[in-house]
Amino acid sequence: MNDREKDDQQTGRILTRREVFTILGTAAGAGIFGYSLAQASSTASPLPGCIGKPEQTEGPYFLDTKLNRSDIRSDPSDGSIMDGIPLLLEFHVSQITPRSCAPLPGAVVDLWHCDARGIYSGVQDPHFNTLGRKFLRGYQVTDDAGMARFTTIYPGWYSGRTVHMHFKIRTNPKIQTGSEFTSQLYFDDSVTDHVYTQIPYSNRGQRMMRNKEDGIFQVGGDQLILALTRDGLGYSAKFEIGLERP
C-alpha cells in the first residue's frame, strides 16, 4: 500500500438526527465537529442550514506550509502556474450555537489537492518527487462573515481515489488548545466527465475510479459534493459548514 492509497483509512462518522439536536441543545463537547443531516426527515423540525458534513481522513499529504494566500495555483519556488480549469471556492464557516448558527471569524482554512496530473506538491511518492514545491496549497483566515476564498484549479485524478480535494479548519493552530476539523470535497461525476475531455486532463486518459467506487466517498461523501456553477472559463462553488467549539 502506497501513501496515497492510505487515504482510504476513514475517520469520523455521520451523526444521527437525535445526536445533532442533543448537541445543539447543550454547550458540551471537546473539540470541533461537523454534523450531517443525512438522517433528518422532511417532516421533522428544520435544522439550521449551516450544519453539516462528516469528518473524513486527512490523508498522507497535509503540509503546514504557512502560505497565507487566496490564489494557490502558483508554485512559490519558480512562479509557475498550474494548468487546469479555474475553480473559485468560497468557504462559509459558522459556529453552532443553540438552535442557530453564527459566522466564525478568525478560523484558519487550509486547502490542498493534486494537480491535473494527479500529483501533490511538497512530497515524495513512489511515482514522483516534488519536495521543495508548494503548488496548490495555502490557507486563508475567515473574515467577520466567516468566509474564506480560494482560487485554484479543478483537480486531476490518481489511482485508488475518486476526484477530491482536502481541507482543514483550525480555530487556533498556534496553541495547544486550538481545535480542528478535517474532511474532503468531491465533484459530481458528470461534471468531472466533461472537464476531463479538455486539456490538460484529457492527456492522462480515462480516470480509474468514480465516486460510488471510492471507499471514503461511500461514508458521507454525498454531503461533501460541491455544487458548481459556471464562472467564465471555469467554475465557482460555495461550501457551507457549521462547527461546534468547546
Tell me the Cα Rg of the chain: 18
* Measured distance CA(32)–CA(137) in Å, rounded: 23
Q: What is the pLDDT of residue 52?
A: 62
Domain coordinates of the chain in residue numbers?
A: 4-244
For a pLDDT cut of 70, what percent of the chain falls above it? 76
Sign of torsion, CA 204 226 153 166?
negative
pLDDT digits (tens, 9 = 90+) for 179-201: 889 999 999 999 999 999 999 99
Place of cell 466527465: 193
Q: What is the pLDDT of residue 143?
A: 97
Distance of CA 122 to the CA centre of its chain: 18
Q: What is the pLDDT of residue 136?
A: 98
Run of H or E including 86: strand 86-97
Q: What is the pLDDT of residue 10?
A: 39
Q: What is the pLDDT of residue 13?
A: 35
User: pLDDT higher for 243 or 145?
Assistant: 145
pLDDT digits (tens, 9 = 90+) for 29-74: 334 445 433 333 333 444 555 766 789 999 999 999 999 999 999 9
Assigned C-alpha cell, 196: 476531463
Whether 70 and 140 have beta carbons less than 8 Å apart is answered as yes
For a pLDDT cut of 90, what percent of the chain falls above it? 67
Question: Of the candidates 185, 190, 189, 193, which has an alpha carbon nearest to the alpha carbon of residue 223?
Answer: 185
The pTM for the full model equals 0.83
Task: For residue 71, give the amino acid letter.
Answer: D
Q: What is the pLDDT of residue 27?
A: 33
**Per-residue pLDDT at 162 exceeds 90:** yes
* Measured distance CA(89)–CA(148) in Å, rounded: 8
Q: How confident is the model at residue 28 (pLDDT cuts 50, 70, 90)?
A: very low
Average confidence score pLDDT of the chain = 82
Q: What is the pLDDT of residue 18?
A: 39
* Measured distance CA(154)–CA(168) in Å, rounded: 18
pLDDT digits (tens, 9 = 90+) for 118-128: 999 999 988 89
Q: What is the pLDDT of residue 166?
A: 98
Which residues have C-beta within 8 Å of that of residue 201, sequence separation ≥ 6?
Answer: 84, 85, 116, 154, 156, 195
Q: What value does the mean pLDDT take over residues 94-106? A: 85
Q: How far is CA 65 from CA 121, 123, 150, in A?
A: 11, 12, 16
* Measured distance CA(3)–CA(64) in Å, rounded: 18
CATH class of 4-244: mainly beta
Question: Of the candidates 32, 27, 79, 25, which has an alpha carbon nearest to the alpha carbon of residue 48?
Answer: 25
User: pLDDT higher for 47 or 148?
Assistant: 148
